[in-house]
A and B are shown apart, each in its own frame.
Chain A
Amino acid sequence: MNALHIKDGRVIDPANKVDEKRDVFIVDGKIATSAPQAKVIDATGKIVTPGLVDIHVHLREPGRSDKETIETGTLCAARGGFTSVVCMPNTSPTADNTGTIAYIKQRAAAVAHVNVFPTGAITKELKGEELAPIGSLKKAGVVAITDDGHCVQNNDLMRRAVQYAKMFELPVMDHCQDYTLAADGVANEGYWSLVLGLRGWPAIAEDMIVMRNILLAQDTQWQIHCQHISSANAVNLLREAKKRGVPITAEACPHHFTLTDESLKTYDTNCKMNPPLRTDRDRDAILEGLADGTLDCIASDHAPHCTFEKEVEFDHAPFGILGLETELALSMELVRKKVLSLPDLIAKLTHIPAQIVRLKKGTLSAGSDADVTIIDPERKWTYDVGQSASKSRNSPFHGWQLQGKAVATIVGGKMVWQE
């Protein structure tokens, strides 16, 4: 019998409305109510939560294992306290076919440090032209469909995709970006893009598709999940739609609630992401959206890129940054800023994202999978991207003084990371 007894921690299990000092028991990979002769882990002064869930990561395998692999990406997750990650389909080949999904699942079974749940493409090769075999992808094990990195522009095709996905109870995730408005923009259209001479990516390019998705979700009565919301107006549109009961959900990324486009003033390509960093006003709106539940969950959009790819002119650098290792600490800043209570924050990192993609994860209910994260909320540390578990080094948070860290990550009862 493989048993653990996590003792004397502050257990925060928002799905069960638990926030109290108690013990957590694990027996044979499941949460139990007791565990005699278990190995004891002293969690005094620590927070014990359901294993964290991130529904937006890029593991780059297959196709770009120079940037990241399922092994290295999931080690980032483990170090960051995440026990389940949902990976995006913009691999090479694209995850628009059952073979690629099978490959990802097989690799994950062999080398992953945490649970990996793949998504499939909405359209073939993410081109926005023809539907991918969504039913077959569901059978192959995808938890959602998305053309992340791209956005289906054809409203008729998107409507059919949502109608079709509903039949399989697959949530549809969308990277909200109108191509005619975003065009070749590389930075938020505003004061800083103007001063720096960078082509603008206006917030309305996101708002337009968020509104489109609200209307489609209402029309189809099926869930659309808006990925990495960056704009204040988008938050307002979502808030209003949710009040009306439209089945729409949304996520926010740590970089969007931490940084603004002022960070671009040194042309640091590690501040180039899609959607772009926006203004103080947008950042404040995202904080409000997180606080009132308009933005359901937090996700990293972990997007590794090689140094040689990022070490180029700003215009030519790829979009995206690493996220899994800094996500928890940057999110805990929201508690210190009194944006969220600690239990509300943990909910946005556990059972809420799990519910969005219908995973039976994110709780410490007896009998559930023993995915547990132990967090030291006081722990001060400095992020050294040179020591990252990722194969890439593209983080704007290198050298940042952070507070709060996962000190133990348990997946299915097995300790996969501990310090």
Chain B
Amino acid sequence: MKTTPWNRKDLLGIQDLSPAEINFILDTATAFKQVGQRTIKKVPSLRGKTMVNLFVEPSTRTRTSFELAAKRLSADVINIDTSASSLVKGETLKDTALNLQALKADIITIRHSAAGAPHFLASRLKASVVNAGDGAHEHPTQALLDAFTIWEKKGKIAGLRVTILGDILYSRVARSNIWLLTKLGAHVTLAGPSTLVPRTFEQLGCRVTHNIDDALDGADVINLLRIQHERQRRSAFPSIGEYTAVFGLNKERFARTKSDALIMHPGPINRGVEIDSEIADCERSVILEQVTNGLAVRMAALFLCAGGA
């Protein structure tokens, strides 16, 4: 019997995972990606299990991706959106969680504006909890799908130079990517305005620069983050226009990047802000492949956490 390096109930973040665990999810995702290429895109792995998509912060693409991933594994899926939920009527997260437990939900996928909300649920529930993004903390499946995409295209992660550009301070995508990429041996450069890319990030094993040319020079992967208006409660730069002028990936800067550098973005993209519209659609852009790979990675995460093995 093969021993799996995965015995977690929950996927709360990348920070706690070992490289072996990360690689195991990516390997599992490879198998599930093939499912999505078949005529019948469905396997019975989670038949009879119920997944609740608890989205306390609005999201369309991540919720849809989790929903489709669960359905491809034959799980039953319920979506709870913040607008319809009792959370806005004053029910606490604890009570919502206990109600979901009473309904015998097997998996809870949670998106929440408060960092640590998935940990709050995981420590109180028998159900598996999968973090679909918590505040500015982590978004583990995004980092896994980013790594999966890089790995498919480049055949490796270790030794690659990955630049993450944009609003790092308020980004859970950045944090999960930093943990994952550094654990697997990539060299991570963070770039953006000094107000959004504090030097403290160097303590996470990253290089920090505020010079866009320096950040792009020699990068194998360029991951552009969306400028998150909703999380920047105070203005961290003067205007979107100035951001684009100083940090936007325009054609001139793009021309100086390595000829095989991948262009990535977790979406939704702001065309003409952090990325020139044509670059978003160019052949080196893998933005839509990230979306496809997101399904495979989320199937793997749900399958491993919910005891499919």
Contacts and interface: CB of A to CB of B under 8 A. Distances in A.
A196 B117 CA distance: 11
B201 A194 contact: yes
B200 A313 contact: no
Interface in B230-249: 233-234
B78 interface: no
Contact of B114 (A183, A308, A311, A314): A314
Interface string B130-166: 0000111110000000000000000000000000000
A315 B134 CA distance: 11
Interface residues of B, number: 27
A316 interface: yes
Contacts of A190: 200
Contacts of A316: 114
Contact of B92 (A183, A194, A196, A312): A312
Given A194-B200, A197-B137, A312-B93, A267 B120 contact: yes
Contact of A311 (B15, B92, B113, B203): B92
B112 interface: yes
A196 B137 contact: yes
Contact of B204 (A195, A312, A315): A195
Given A183-B234, A195-B175, A197-B137, A314 B115 contact: yes
A199 B198 CA distance: 13
A267 B119 contact: yes
Contacts of B116: 196-198, 267, 313-314
B104 interface: no
A184 B233 contact: yes
A314 B201 CA distance: 22
B175 A197 contact: yes
A266 interface: yes
A194 B198 CA distance: 9
A103 interface: no
A315 B115 contact: yes
A194 to B, nearest CB: 5
B172 interface: yes
B94 interface: yes
Contacts of A191: 200, 203
A266 B122 CA distance: 12
A320 to B, nearest CB: 18
A199 B172 CA distance: 12
A191 B15 CA distance: 14
Contacts of A198: 115-116, 135-137
Nearest to B94: A311
Contacts of B201: 194
Residue among B116, B135, B233, B234 with max Cβ neighbours from chain A (10 Å) = B116
A313 B120 CA distance: 7
A312 B94 contact: yes
12 contacts: A183-B233, A191-B200, A194-B198, A197-B116, A197-B137, A267-B115, A311-B92, A312-B94, A312-B120, A313-B116, A315-B114, A315-B135
Interface of B: 15, 92-94, 112-117, 119-120, 134-138, 169, 172, 175, 198, 200-201, 203-204, 233-234
Interface of A: 183-184, 190-191, 194-199, 266-267, 308, 311-316
